[in-house]
Amino acid sequence: MSKLLRIILASLGLPLALGAHPMGNFSVSHYSRLHFKPDALEVTYVLDLAEIPAFQLLGTWQIDWKDQASLAAKSKGQAAEWLGNVSVMQSGNRLPLRILSASSTAVEGAGGLPVLRIVMKAEVPATPGELTYEDANFPGRAGWKEIVVDHDKAVMIASSTQTDRDISKALTFYPTDPAVNQPQDVNAKVAWSVVSAPTPKVPVQITSVSPAAPAPAVPFSAPQAAGPGAVVRGDYLSRMLQKKELSGGIILLGIFVAFGLGAMHAMSPGHGKTIVAAYLVGSRGTLKHAGLLGLTVTFTHTFTVFLLGLGILFFQRFFAAERVVPLLGAVSGLSIVAVGLTLLYRRANALLHGGADHTHSVSEMPARRSRIAELRAAEAGIVLPEEPEFVHSHGGSTHSHMIEGDITPGSLIALGVSGGIVPCPSALILMLSAIALGHAGLGLVLLIGFSTGLALVLMVCGGLAVYAKHLLPGGEGMASNPAFRLIPVFSAVVVICLGLAMTGVSAGWIQPLRFLS
């Protein structure tokens, strides 16, 4: 017994036991686990009564706490009253809770007095949508008050005021570190839906539940966000996958829809459009390069989603998708960083070799003609002399002054793989649904359609970037302008930065929503 606590106990005229109950001798701690099933909500409700409330309750029950049989019988009777103070509301109606079980455990606390832990389970039939939960037992009484929200695999949580994080392990562990939040949650609001197939378990994003200013619930992750092209329950594709027999026309229509969804989805933020553009602009890419890049993205994306979908179905007991997707994101981001660093090295090297310590005479290093100059000459029917070779040697060391057009098949594929390796959650849901419903082949076809649509947008973006580059002012003066010559270096830096940002987001170091909110 510490001196600190002795003094504390004296301070309010209410003695508390140290080492007996960490929340104080008069505390009543609450814990609710809301487990969402396709057609019901299962509630695990736990109360932990410290010495004084336990004494009061046992006095009311008029039983000896060591009499386990009486304790069990009384707790079953009391459960109805406690659960009567727990309300589940949906669409303005209070849903009836059906008690499944109730049990209590009494252990010795401070001064030989018992502390009680009562565990109750109840179920309420509920349909997908939004519901609210309120625990009105022991209002105002001090204690730990925690609500945990989780769900079956066939259920998707669209938004929730609480997460699936279980801090107290159902009131069996109370962290004493002041930096660990001591929850005071007695209300929850959850929006949920049923998916046709098992879905990857995705962490729920918390929304605040301040009584003064209730924050609106927000979608918690991409699979649930009905953004452009997102595959959601009830749309054409998910309905189609549930059909047992499909005609050729329907399949073709499905592919078309998947293609459209993929294209729309690619227009939403992300998907490497900026990286592709930055790369192609800086690398003097052509439409051919843009096309190759798109195809690589399509192939990688399809392949990854297919593999990951199969992997999740076969190994879902051992790992969760939410752990793999960030890992892939980080790998992808680091790959992009690597590509960017390679570009930067080559371009900076080329630039430096054209610097003050390495000069050439005009005759030795003529300014490279701009593309516009070439086009203008072609229009005028002027045949320009062939450009001098940019690769030459000085004292046995061969190098190139060509700072543009440094696209190699390797770097192009690396970038494409990086862009496609992170699976879109929508595509993943599509694939998982198809596999689960026994349409794996159709799922693959639809996935290819989806990825092709996605890649087409990337190709178009790349093509636009290539075309837009040609709109830059031409002329030899411009080409020889140092600022102009820095653009490729700058674009390499952009690629690196974007790669780093992608890695940071995947690793959780950067939280874009915090900046947006």
Partner 1 sequence: MRYQTLLSSLFCLAAMASAQMTQPVKFQTVKSVQLSADDRIAAQERRLKDDPNNPEVQAALASAFIQKLRETTDFAYLNRAATLVDRILTANPASYDGLRLSAEIETHRHNFPRSAELANRLLQKNPSDSGALGMLGDSLMEMGQYENAGKIYERMVMISPNLASYNRLAYYKFVTGDKQKALDWMATAVQAGSPTAENLAWCLVEFGDMLFKTGHTADAHIVYERSLEALPGYHRALAALGREYAAEGKFDEAQASFLKAQTVIPLPEYAGSLDAIYTKMGRSTEAEQQRQLLDVIEKLGRVNGEKGNRTLALVYANENRHLDLAMQQITGELETRKDVYTYDALSWVLFRSGKQKEAEEASRKALSMHTPEPMFLYHAGVIAMTSGDKSAGKELLTQALALNPEFSWPEASDAKERLLP
Residue closer to partner 1 (CB basis): 1 or 252: 1
Q: Does 181 bind partner 1 (CB under 8 A)?
A: yes
Q: Does 513 bind partner 1 (CB under 8 A)?
A: no
Smallest separation, CB 514 to partner 1 (Å): 10
Pairing of strands 98-108, 40-49: unpaired
Smallest separation, CB 17 to partner 1 (Å): 6
Applying CB under 8 A, which of residues 69, 91, 92, 212 lies at the interface with partner 1?
212
Say how far apart CA 425 and CA 422 lie, in whole Å: 9
Q: Does 110 bind partner 1 (CB under 8 A)?
A: yes
Site size for partner 1 (CB under 8 A): 49
Say how far apart CA 122 and CA 127 lie, in whole Å: 16
Q: How far is CA 378 from the centre of its chain?
A: 52
Nearest alpha carbon to residue 92 among 36, 131, 35: 131
Residue closer to partner 1 (CB basis): 50 or 281: 50
Could you give the angle at the alpha carbon of 144 between the alpha carbons of 141 and 150, nearest 5°?
A: 125
The number of beta carbons lying within 10 Å of the beta carbon of residue 46 is 19
Question: Residues 13 to 32: which contact partner 1 by CB under 8 A?
Answer: 13-18, 22-27
Residue closer to partner 1 (CB basis): 117 or 151: 117
Smallest separation, CB 210 to partner 1 (Å): 6
Q: Does 4 bind partner 1 (CB under 8 A)?
A: yes
Smallest separation, CB 33 to partner 1 (Å): 21
Query: What is the number of alpha carbons within 13 Å of residue 497 lying toward its C-beta?
Result: 8
Token pair, residue 116, equals 């009680």
Question: Residues 282 to 311: which contact partner 1 by CB under 8 A?
Answer: none
The SS3 of residue 135 is strand
Token pair, residue 21, equals 């109950």
Say how far apart CA 225 and CA 218 lie, in whole Å: 9
- Run of H or E residues at 32: strand 28-36
Smallest separation, CB 60 to partner 1 (Å): 8
Residue closer to partner 1 (CB basis): 212 or 382: 212
Smallest separation, CB 156 to partner 1 (Å): 27
**Are 398 and 159 in contact, with CB atoms under 8 Å apart?**
no
**Maximum CA extent, the chain:** 109
**Are 238 and 255 in contact, with CB atoms under 8 Å apart?**
no
Residue 221 DSSP symbol: S
Applying CB under 8 A, which of residues 95, 113, 222, 446 lies at the interface with partner 1?
113
* Stretch of 177-185, 223-231, 363-371, 431-439 lying at the interface with partner 1 (CB under 8 A): 177-185
Q: Does 218 bind partner 1 (CB under 8 A)?
A: no
Q: Does 178 bind partner 1 (CB under 8 A)?
A: yes
Residue closer to partner 1 (CB basis): 8 or 191: 8
Residues forming the site for partner 1 (CB under 8 A): 1, 4-18, 22-27, 51-53, 55-56, 59-60, 110-111, 113, 138-143, 176-179, 181-182, 184, 208, 210-212
